[in-house]
């Protein structure tokens, strides 16, 4: 391991925080999707790093990472479809204007 695991973990934490900031702050729906992808990648990074650091040889970490990628793909697809539908319907995909659920 060329770099101690803690550093990799720190990196993924930073990435995760950036993604979270994006999800919370961006107005554009697709911007949020992008941020989510970032957060997922941060998680993958952790998976791989720990699997590498002290895995038990079962490849669970990497398998998990693979699955996360799969899920992310599904998520992005559906998300974008939604965005398209909303856009077609409401001419905007700014998150703060879509407030049908307002109480």
By CB under 8 A, the residues from 38 to 97 that bind another protein are 38, 41, 44-45, 48-49, 51-60, 62-63, 65-67, 69-78, 80-85, 87-88, 92-96
Six-digit token pair at 22? Answer: 């994006």
Count CA atoms closer than 13 A to 31's CA, side-chain side: 14
CB-CB contact of 94 with 31 (8 Å): no
19 φ, ψ to 5°? Answer: -55, -45
Measured from the CB of residue 67, what is the shortest distance to another protein in angstroms? 6
By CB under 8 A, residue 24 contacts another protein:
yes
Integer Cα distance of 26 and 34 in angstroms: 10
Measured from the CB of residue 90, what is the shortest distance to another protein in angstroms? 11
Measured from the CB of residue 46, what is the shortest distance to another protein in angstroms? 10
Number of residues that bind another protein (CB under 8 A): 85
Measured from the CB of residue 40, what is the shortest distance to another protein in angstroms? 9
Continuous segment of H or E residues that includes residue 3:
none
């Amino acid at each position: 391991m060329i770099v101690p695991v803690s550093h990799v973990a720190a990196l993924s934490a930073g990435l995760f925080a950036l993604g979270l900031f994006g999800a919370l702050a961006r107005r554009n729906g697709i911007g949020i999707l992008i941020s989510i992808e970032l957060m997922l990648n941060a998680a993958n990074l952790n998976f791989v790093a720990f699997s590498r650091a002290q895995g038990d040889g079962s490849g669970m970490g990497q398998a998990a990472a693979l699955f996360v990628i799969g899920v992310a793909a599904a998520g992005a697809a559906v998300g974008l479809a939604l965005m398209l539908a909303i856009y077609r319907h409401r001419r905007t995909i700014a998150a703060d204007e879509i407030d049908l659920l307002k109480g």
